[in-house]
Chains A and B, each alone.
Chain A
Amino acid sequence: MTLDHRQQHMQSLRAGLSLLVAPIEYLVDLPVNLGRWVDESLSSRQSLIEENTRLHAQNLLMQARSLKNADLETENQRLRELLGSSVKVADRVLIAEIYKIDLDPFKHIVRLNKSARHGIYLDQPLLDAHGVMGQIIEIMPLNSTARLITDPGHSIPVQVSRNGLRTIALGSGKINQLDLPYLPNNADIEVGDLLVTSGLGGIYPHGYPVAKVTAIERAPALEFARIKAEPTAHINRSSEVLLVWSGDRIKMMQTQSPATPAESSSTGAPATKGPTQ
């Protein structure tokens, strides 16, 4: 049975059984949702107004930044075209919510409230507002499961944004730490360097922030430096995450069903037009 599952034969059985346990998960998640709802409906007018003005200001700031961003993006695209490379920048996203339930303390996996109905696919990357969080590992009829980048069984191809040095970041099993065990002692990397996804491996799109280097230990006796990094994503605090469709996937979705923009709040709005290669 275990072997069967490894070959994905039991997927349908698992999906069926998940319908049985979904109510339990919903029930456990309920108090938290309820608490949030009560909090929202009881918060005073004053605080709502304050929050509104704050968000308004933030929105303005973001818009200004995104204007500049759009300009840079087109410029970048043009330069890439000149170079003859075909990197796609525009991404589509969908907002998903994490269930407030613990699955297994030794694995960093979370359950999301989005399922196959929303068009998500296996291995789809997961972000929050600050960086990469993980990838989808299982899709069930009512929800889906995602593995976080800090899971001890997870690794993510990254590069140092300062100089493009590529390596792999492994999950450490601690919620605030990634390990970079494959860099030699003389590698050009410093504390504070930002690691971004390198786009190799084909799962994570290129250029999203992953982690910041926090500690480097160069032991001359060892072949490789021991480097630790802290994820930029708020892995144990975010309750809402973004599911990303990048480049090819957007095209695939559009050819499959032209009318599936469920609640896609495409962030890169001004620049979503498909780049000509």
Chain B
Amino acid sequence: MTTTARQGGLLIVITIIAAMALTIIPLPESIEHFRPEWVALVIIYWCMALPQRIGVGRAWMTGLLLDVMTGSLLGQHALSMTVVAFLVINLYQRIRLFPLGQQALVIWMMLNLYQLLLLWFDGITGQPPKGLNFWWPPLIGMLFWPAVFLLLRGLRRKYKVQ
């Protein structure tokens, strides 16, 4: 078991890096508000699929890197990511059994929570309010969830990540 437990770590890192790249890739101005939180989606998937490997700690580190990358307060994404990861770790046995559509709804709620935490931090630190556009990313994230899920599951099975 200990030999297989380490398998495929590289794939996880690569998917997270790809998600980070998608987070900062330039989009046309008209759709830039609709960019889903790719990193959160990927972290949620790995927490759900491999709760014994990817947990709160990894989520925190990823969030920290995301903070540095997007120039937000250090710890802002990290804490939001941690809370979401904690929820997934607690609920993964249930979420795994849901059909894909229902899963997407749960993910939507989690992404909303993620976004809400980010908003709170912005509020606390005196950033100006952001309007309703701020709530698009969780919705788009929900729509993307089945695709992300199937893609990552395919990759996970192909490379036998455990």
Contacts and interface: CB of A to CB of B under 8 A. Distances in A.
A10 B69 CA distance: 15
A81 interface: no
Interface size class of A (residues with CB under 8 A): 35 or more
B113 to A, nearest CB: 18
14 contacts: A1-B75, A1-B79, A2-B74, A5-B73, A6-B125, A21-B69, A24-B21, A102-B25, A102-B27, A102-B32, A104-B70, A104-B71, A105-B33, A138-B71
Contacts of B127: 107, 152-153
A5 B68 CA distance: 12
A14 B79 CA distance: 16
Contact of A24 (B69, B71, B79, B130): B69
A20 interface: yes
Given A2-B121, A5-B75, A101 B128 contact: no
Contacts, number: 83
A106 B27 contact: no
B112 interface: no
Given A17-B68, A138-B71, 13 more contacts: A1-B79, A2-B124, A5-B74, A10-B74, A14-B68, A18-B69, A21-B20, A100-B26, A101-B26, A102-B27, A105-B33, A107-B71, A107-B127
Interface of B: 17, 20-21, 24-27, 29, 32-33, 35, 64-65, 68-76, 78-79, 121, 124-125, 127-128, 130, 133-134
Nearest to B72: A104
Contacts of B75: 1-2, 5
Of B24, B65, B73, B121, which is in contact with the most chain A CB atoms at under 10 Å from its CB? B24
B134 A106 contact: yes
A13 interface: yes
